[in-house]
């Protein structure tokens, strides 16, 4: 590609833009990961990350992508041949299911339509029928990055409890952590999986397991092989701020600043900012005349919006047009949604002007590609951000 002038708008649903203070922290000289300065850093981030998950329990930090944390959640709690109940909400729930099978775990996956969230009633029905308690865990995705659908985790917890079932609850919050309100303890989640490159505003490379007491107890009898991803050595070293192997020291330096930035803004304000951006984006999309991939308003994601183009129009061609004209990257459609949808990320570090700039780039691309739409979507979004439009319902807790 030839040089594209101006700021690059990275508007995929993660990795998100990394703010300069975080980049500056990552660029600091690497420190001794066995020395007192690192111990102070380690204790700071290990304690601070709990506030983002809203848990008083331990959070393990891995030098991996979110995929590593997916695997850690499984191998630390389950044994070969165990049965897990999963719900297909999109591409990433499907990938987690494939991993489960590859590890020798039986995955019973409830089929979904890729336009809706987890149906807690279907979870309850499956669990009530499981009189022998064959299911050892229920694994779901909180915010499905491929579809822009947010599921009600509290409802899943209630379904498990009302069925009187002892299954663990494992939740992927990779694209919602730090962007959408998430409550590990309150919602009774046993293992929550997170990643660094979205709402936490870091580059890829760190992932997380928030662990309940029940999950920790399950890890003592788990028979799946684990070494690098094992919790025991991690938790033992973490007590003093250290890690059992060389950690991503510079990313942890960045994480400390990211946590400080989130708390300086205030988590409630962070979530409200994401809600407003998502609402304004949806208003623009609906004004243009396009369908949102998520069907149910109560399940709309505040991290991203997946947009369905009319039949006969290529979402990938539109994305290329926008990249060339506006120096802006949008998310592609995944799996069966390939070339049918494009995804607008509105998560991490942004403000109202960022949102309007993104929508301007999209509207310019629509016009350039000759895709039928009603002009003026940016104006509608501007009215919404100015507070002149009624709010839209957000995902229920």
Give per-residue pLDDT as tens, 214-273. 999 999 999 999 999 999 999 999 999 999 999 999 999 999 999 999 999 999 999 999
Average pLDDT score over residue span 176-182: 98
Please indicate, yes or no, whether residues 210 and 281 belong to a single structural domain of this protein: no
Which tens digits make up the pLDDT trace of 105-138?
A: 999 999 999 999 999 999 999 999 999 999 999 9
Within a domain: residue 104?
yes
d(CA 108, CA 139): 10
Q: Identify whether 143 is part of a domain.
A: yes
* 390 domain residue, yes or no: no
86, 150: one domain: yes
Closest by CA position to 263, among listed 45, 65, 63: 45
Is 278 found in the same domain as 184? Answer: no
Report the phi/psi class of residue 312: left, alpha or beta, with left for phi > 0 and alpha for psi in -120 to 50. Answer: left
For 324-335, the pLDDT digits (tens) are: 999 999 999 999
| C-alpha triplet 318, 14, 385: angle, nearest 5° | 75
Residue at 3 is within a domain: no
Domain boundary among 214, 233, 263: 263
Q: Which residues pair with 137 in a beta bridge?
A: 84, 168
Helices (H), the chain: 20-26, 36-53, 66-75, 91-102, 120-129, 153-162, 213-219, 231-238, 249-265, 267-288, 315-326, 352-369, 377-385
Pick the closest to residue 188 from 214, 208, 206 (CA basis).
214
Same domain, 239 and 282: no
Q: What is the pLDDT of residues 132-165, one digit of tens each?
A: 999 999 999 999 999 999 999 999 999 999 999 9
Rg of the chain's alpha carbons, rounded to an integer?
A: 21
Distance CA 112, CA 119 (A): 9
Residue-range definition of the domain harbouring residue 258 = 20-263
Q: Identify whether residues 253 and 270 lie together within a single domain.
A: no
| 344 is a domain residue | yes
* 312 Cβ neighbours under 8 A, 6+ residues apart: none
Q: What is the pLDDT of residues 8-62, one digit of tens each?
A: 999 999 999 999 999 999 999 999 999 999 999 999 999 999 999 999 999 999 9
pLDDT in tens, 264-309: 999 999 999 999 999 999 999 999 999 999 999 999 999 999 999 9
Rounded CA-CA distance 388/377 in Å is: 15
Q: Which residue has the tokens 């183009």?
A: 309
CATH number for the domain that contains residue 34: 3.40.640.10
**Backbone phi and psi for residue 62, each to the nearest 5 degrees, phi listed first:** -105, 150
CATH, residue 358? 3.90.1150.10
Q: Is the pLDDT of residue 389 over 70?
A: no
Final residue of a domain: which of 238, 263, 288? 263
Task: Note whether 224 and 103 are within 8 A (CB).
Answer: yes
pLDDT of residue 288: 98
What are the binding residues?
343
In a domain, 393, yes or no: no
d(CA 331, CA 10): 9
* Statement to judge: residues 162 and 178 lie in one domain: yes
Regarding whether 147 and 55 lie in a shared domain, the answer is yes
Count how many domains the chain has: 2
Per DSSP, the three-state class of 170 is strand
94 backbone φψ class: left, alpha, beta (φ>0; ψ -120 to 50): alpha
Give the whole-angstrom CA distance, residue 327 versus residue 324: 6
Same domain, residue pair 230 and 296: no
Contact predicate 200/52, CB 8 Å: yes
Are 126 and 259 found together in one domain?
yes
Q: Is residue 392 a contact partner of residue 297, using CB atoms and an 8 Å limit? A: yes
Quick one: what percent of the chain has pLDDT higher than 70? 97
Same domain, 243 and 277: no
Residue 225 lies in a domain: yes
In eight-state DSSP terms, residue 344 is E
Q: Which of 210, 245, 263 is the last residue of a domain?
A: 263
How far apart (Å, rounded) are the C-alpha atoms in residues 146 and 152? 17
Query: Does the structure show a pLDDT above 50 at 186?
Result: yes
Q: Are 285 and 315 in contact (CB under 8 A)?
A: no
In a domain, 163, yes or no: yes
Average pLDDT, rounded, for the chain: 96
Beta bridge partners of 143: 150
Q: How many Å apart are CA 89 and CA 15, to the nearest integer?
A: 21
Binding site, annotated residues for substrate = 343
- Output DSSP code: residue 42: H
Residues 220 and 286 in one domain: no
- Give the Cα separation of 189 and 5 in Å (integer): 46
Q: Are residues 317 and 371 in the same domain?
A: yes
């Amino acid at each position: 590609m030839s040089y594209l002038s101006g700021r690059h708008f990275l508007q995929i649903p993660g990795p998100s833009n990394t703010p300069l203070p975080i980049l500056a922290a990552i660029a600091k000289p690497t420190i001794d990961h066995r020395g007192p300065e690192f111990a102070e850093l380690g204790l700071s981030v290990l304690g601070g990350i709990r506030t983002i998950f809203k848990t008083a329990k331990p959070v393990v930090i891995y030098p991996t992508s979110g995929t590593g944390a997916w695997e850690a959640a499984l191998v630390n709690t389950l044994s070969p041949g165990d049965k897990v109940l999963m719900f297909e909400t999109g591409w990433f729930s499907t990938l987690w299911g494939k991993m489960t099978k590859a590890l020798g775990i039986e995955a019973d996956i409830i089929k979904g339509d890729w336009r809706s969230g987890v149906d807690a009633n279907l979870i309850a029905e499956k669990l009530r029928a499981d009189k022998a308690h064959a299911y050892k865990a229920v694994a779901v995705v909180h915010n499905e990055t491929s579809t822009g659908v947010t599921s009600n985790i509290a409802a899943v917890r209630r379904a498990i409890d009302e069925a009187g079932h002892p299954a663990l609850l494992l939740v992927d919050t990779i694209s919602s952590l730090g962007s959408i309100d998430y409550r590990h303890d309150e919602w009774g989640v046993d293992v929550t999986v997170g990643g660094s490159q979205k709402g936490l505003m870091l580059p890829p490379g760190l992932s997380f397991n928030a662990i309940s007491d029940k999950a920790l107890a399950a890890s003592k009898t788990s028979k799946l092989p684990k070494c690098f991803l094992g919790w025991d050595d991690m938790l033992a070293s973490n007590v003093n701020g250290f890690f059992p192997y060389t950690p991503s020291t510079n990313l942890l330096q960045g994480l400390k600043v990211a946590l400080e930035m989130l708390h300086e803004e205030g988590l409630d304000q962070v979530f409200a900012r994401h809600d407003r951006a998502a609402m304004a984006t949806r208003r623009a999309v609906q004004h243009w005349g396009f369908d949102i991939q998520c069907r149910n308003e109560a399940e709309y994601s505040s991290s991203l919006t997946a947009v369905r183009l009319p039949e006969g129009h290529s979402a990938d061609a539109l994305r290329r047009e926008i990249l060339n004209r506006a120096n802006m990257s949008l998310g592609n459609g995944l799996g069966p949604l390939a070339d049918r949808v494009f995804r607008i990320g509105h998560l991490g570090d942004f403000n109202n002007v960022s949102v309007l700039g993104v929508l301007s780039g999209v509207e310019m691309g629509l016009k350039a590609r000759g895709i039928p739409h009603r002009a003026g979507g940016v104006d509608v979004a501007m009215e919404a951000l100015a507070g002149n439009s009624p709010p839209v319902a957000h995902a229920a807790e």
